[in-house]
Chains A and B, each alone.
Chain A
């Protein structure tokens, strides 16, 4: 088991190296950083000096190493557009995205698992079928359309909730939170639903499929044949066996909430890292793009690692050492 975990950590680090290489290549080859940093009025001497300063005259591998060294310390250079350190901008924006992702993730998990179980157990029921049809509409509705629809309904027509921004936020020094003010919480509702709904539908459909698969298994029939009550069959026997595949995908889904936040943040002009990233793409602000890529990779890889650890907690078959299997 320990060997497995070590191997997974090794693989994770490898992934980060590859992503780092992509990020670095963006720096190095997409546009000319010197061009980007110096204005129209420049001398050849300026160019040479900056080249040396940036280390662009050194071999590729050395440059990559230096890039990684800097990246590990959170140093991604200056934003081409804003002229400020990228790390500073990211840190400033991160709380908005993380709070949004947290609330949406909770919504997606609770709603998705609950509805998934319900629709699997009441497979032939009318309400379950209605939910399934609706969920397909949910999957086909692009996130941004859900956002627009909600804005139209609750902001334009009803005027209940704000259509953009974070509302009032409280500055805690290292973190800004919208959880503590009424306007902050109101501003959170629509973006959180927008972001969570799509993931919720996916999780729901997945839980349903897995649950139906498990409900067909012999041990479920056997449990029924022993007169175990339906509630226990569904929740003790079936749900637990559903969890392993569900956790895999759910973990990935929670990761993609951070990525899909880009869309929600654009629709609601939510001042998070996603909005920052999309602006960076529009203006080809490479340092911001690269830093965002690295940040999100670390998160994804972290989530994947946690998911792997969770397997061991749930499935006893994985806990056995393969050499001592003794069958």
Chain B
């Protein structure tokens, strides 16, 4: 197996607060390979965005990585700081934010922002940077890119803006792109286009994509593998088809039952009882046990097996849908 573009190993992010230490990311491990899209899904507050921020080194203090490793094509990057980290960002890993309206500097033209990024990371002339900027805009599907490169962000529509954001993230040809809820702020009609664009760029360029979202539909549409997070921990990790159709973790199963998906036909939607606990107030044992109908004594005592990138699929004492698997 080739070296994964991104390896997250046993990552812990902690925030010291007045009420004690919160742990928004709690011993999380996963890999993403070149040309692969890993969907990271979970409710808000489950730690999915925090994982992305930790990878690209944009955690807001006082949040910090306390345990674990982040490897970019085998190189450890979690301890990098300052100038070394900056050179990596944009050049080897990039990030796409949720709201294209606020992600773009309103006072600089799209061209200025693109050229600036290209000149920062590639040893090219101003003219070459401009040529590349236009080519990049064309590649993400901005019509008449040559003419629009001098436009300001407010002169684009929401979907076009997100295309510009994607162009900005990809213009220095990074190996890894973290897309943090890239479609949440967009109209439904535009969402599918943006997902299709991300998917195409991932395949054509062999970029590894970490797609953070709370939308199961987006996961089903785009991801190759999926990581389900719950209260800072990885609940389930596996190929998207298998996880979506035969979830092992009761939380994943509940999530699927409560999500309308076209592929599943007209089933009645079922809610998971209760709500995800707040980080300052986690129950002992498995964080999901108060909402789980399969919970037993051991679930209340012990959080269960931690998933790592190679072994296991669900962090659960009593996983679902494992009968056939066990037989093989």
* A–B touching in complex (CB under 8 Å): yes
Instruction: Decide: A219 near B120, CB < 8 A? Known: A225-B58, A226-B94, A241-B107.
Output: no
Instruction: Decide: A227 near B89, CB < 8 A? Known: A222-B168, A240-B107, A316-B152.
Output: yes
- The contact of A227 among B102, B121, B154, B157, by CB within 8 Å, is B121
Instruction: Decide: A217 near B102, CB < 8 A? Known: A225-B90, A226-B89.
Output: yes
Interface string of A261-284 (1 = CB under 8 A from B): 000000000000000000000000
- The contact of B152 among A219, A221, A317, A327, by CB within 8 Å, is A317
Main secondary structure on A side of the interface with B: helix
Q: Which of A216-242 contact B (CB under 8 A)?
A: 217-219, 221-230, 232, 236-237, 240-241
Query: Is B165 interfacial (CB 8 A cutoff)?
Result: yes
Interface pair B116/A222, CB less than 8 Å apart = no
The answer for the CA separation of A259 and B197 in the assembled complex, in Å, is: 59
Instruction: Decide: A227 near B116, CB < 8 A? Known: A240-B107, A241-B106, A316-B152.
Output: no
Interface pair A227/B107, CB less than 8 Å apart = no
Interface pair B165/A222, CB less than 8 Å apart = yes
Interface pair A237/B86, CB less than 8 Å apart = no
Query: Is B155 interfacial (CB 8 A cutoff)?
Result: yes
**A227 (CB) vs chain B CBs: closest residue:** B90
Range, interface on chain A: 20 to 34
The answer for the CA separation of A218 and B101 in the assembled complex, in Å, is: 9
Name the residue among A219, A229, A314, A320 with the largest chain B CB count within 10 angstroms. A219
**Chain A interface (Cβ within 8 Å of chain B)?**
217-219, 221-230, 232, 236-237, 240-241, 314-317, 320, 327
| CB of B85 to closest CB in A, whole Å | 9
Q: How many residues of chain B get a CB closer than 8 Å to chain A's CBs? A: 31
Interface pair A237/B105, CB less than 8 Å apart = yes
Instruction: Decide: A229 near B90, CB < 8 A? Known: A316-B152, A327-B157.
Output: no
Tell me which residues across on chain B come within 8 A of A317, comparing CB atoms.
106, 152, 154
| CB of A224 to closest CB in B, whole Å | 6
Instruction: Decide: A227 near B91, CB < 8 A? Known: A218-B102, A316-B152, A320-B154.
Output: yes
Tell me which residues across on chain A come within 8 A of B102, comparing CB atoms.
217-219
A sample of 12 more A-B contacts (CB under 8 A), given A225-B89, A241-B107, is A219-B102, A223-B105, A224-B89, A225-B56, A226-B94, A227-B88, A228-B116, A229-B86, A240-B105, A316-B106, A316-B154, A320-B154
Which 8 residue pairs of A and B lie closest in terms of their CB atoms, listed nearest first?
A: A227-B90, A227-B89, A226-B90, A218-B102, A225-B95, A219-B105, A316-B152, A222-B103
| CB of B223 to closest CB in A, whole Å | 22
Interface pair B58/A228, CB less than 8 Å apart = no
The answer for the CA separation of A223 and B86 in the assembled complex, in Å, is: 10
Q: Which of B128-158 contact A (CB under 8 A)?
A: 152, 154-155, 157
Interface pair A225/B94, CB less than 8 Å apart = yes
